Each structure stands twice: as C-alpha cells, then as structure tokens.
C-alpha cells in the first residue's frame, strides 16, 4: 500500500506526521518505507528527507541498502513550488520508487506543500496519487485560517471524486479549541497527537 501525505500548505507538519505514522505502522507489524520525491529549499542536504530516511532505516533495516538519493531523488535550491524551482525528472522519481517499493509493505510518500502545488506545466501534487497508485492523507495545521483551507480542500477533492483521510496537527491546543474547534467539531476531526491508532486504521481500511 502507498500513502501520499499532503497538507493544507507548507510548514503544517507533513514530515512530523509522516514520522509518527511510520512508527505507528511499524508497531502494527508492517515493514515501512518512505520517500520524498521532491524537496525544495535544499542547500546541501535535504533536511526533511534525511530525517525521514534515518527513522525509516531504524524501523526497517532493509532500507539500509538505499541512499538518500533514492529517498529524495529531486532536490532544488530555491524554496518554491517545483514548477518554479527547477525541472522535475519523473523517470528519476519512478526509478527511485521501484527500488524502495519491494522493501516495504507500506510506503509513505511525502509531498511538497499542498495538493495543487504545480510540479510541471501539466502536473500538480495531486497527480502523484495516480502516479504512485496511492491513498491520500492530508495534514491540516491548526493555525488561524485552517477552516478555510479545510473547506477548500474538501470541496475540491469531493468534486473530483477523490477519497482522503485527514487529521489536524495541533500547534497551539488552547487557541485551536477556542477558535477553530467550535466549527471543526461537526466533522469529528482526528488529531495527529492523539489519534494515531485510529488514523492508521482508517488508512488501512479497517
């Protein structure tokens, strides 16, 4: 199974959530793998990709046969959407994927930014669902403005017939429950910090 991890924007907790999801799936007995096909804002080492890779190797030692280049095949220096930051070689991404996939039961694939971030002229982050035959998981950061982000994502995905699992990453519990939760509670949100078991069960289809 492949799970593509996105968010309502950049810096909302994709890497943080991916690390926790890897641990939870591993606890359930699955061999986990991870990749971040594209990382921008890379000066020397892809920071997010390296964190993911180091954790994944602990949880699944068979990944030690890989290198960081396999985990993050495309790296751009400019911290911008891939369409702006540089060319994306999809064949290179697929080659890396084909090396990783046989080593794991569940592959977590972290995107960049949100679902409509442009990767190339005719390809957006959401298109990686089909590219990897992946399920979609979206992290919504609890910062002010998340309600609008949630409704926009929900509307777009529903109108395009795309199923998704989602959870909230709480940055400030007091502010979230005072400001956003009075509205969000009608959607019965799950929280990265509290509901990993239920989140992984939903992703597994249980």
Task: Locate 41 and state its tokens.
Answer: 């804002």
- Find out whether 35 and 109 touch, Cβ atoms under 8 Å: yes
Task: Locate 37 and state its tokens.
Answer: 């096909």
**H or E stretch at 34:** strand 32-35
- Find out whether 56 and 32 touch, Cβ atoms under 8 Å: yes
Other C-beta atoms within 10 Å of 118: how many? 14
**H or E stretch at 182:** helix 181-184
**Active-site pick, 14, 27, 31, 36:** 36
Is 36 a residue of the active site?
yes
CA distance 201 to 206: 5
Task: Locate 202 and state its tokens.
Answer: 């939903």
Task: Locate 147 and state its tokens.
Answer: 């309600």
Residue with tokens 């971030």: 117
CA distance 197 to 23: 11
Task: Tell me which residues are annotated as active site.
Answer: 36
């Amino acid at each position: 199974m492949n799970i593509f991890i996105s968010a309502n924007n950049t810096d909302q907790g994709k890497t943080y959530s991916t690390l926790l999801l890897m641990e939870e799936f591993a606890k359930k007995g699955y061999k986990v793998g991870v990749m971040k096909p594209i990382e921008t804002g890379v000066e020397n080492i892809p920071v997010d990709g390296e964190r993911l890779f180091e954790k994944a190797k602990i949880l699944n030692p068979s990944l030690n046969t890989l290198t960081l280049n396999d985990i993050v095949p495309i790296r751009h220096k400019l911290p911008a959407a891939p369409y702006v930051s540089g060319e994306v070689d999809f064949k290179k991404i697929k080659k890396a994927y084909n090396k990783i996939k046989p080593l794991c039961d569940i592959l977590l694939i972290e995107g960049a930014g949100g679902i409509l971030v442009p990767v190339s002229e005719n390809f957006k982050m959401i298109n990686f669902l089909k590219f990897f035959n992946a399920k979609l998981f979206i992290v919504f950061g609890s910062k002010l403005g998340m309600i609008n982000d949630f409704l926009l994502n929900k509307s777009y995905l529903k109108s395009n017939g795309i199923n998704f699992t989602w959870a909230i990453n709480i940055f400030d519990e007091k502010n979230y429950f005072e400001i956003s939760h009075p509205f969000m509670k009608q959607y019965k949100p799950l929280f990265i910090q509290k509901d990993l078991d239920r989140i992984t069960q939903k992703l597994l289809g249980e």
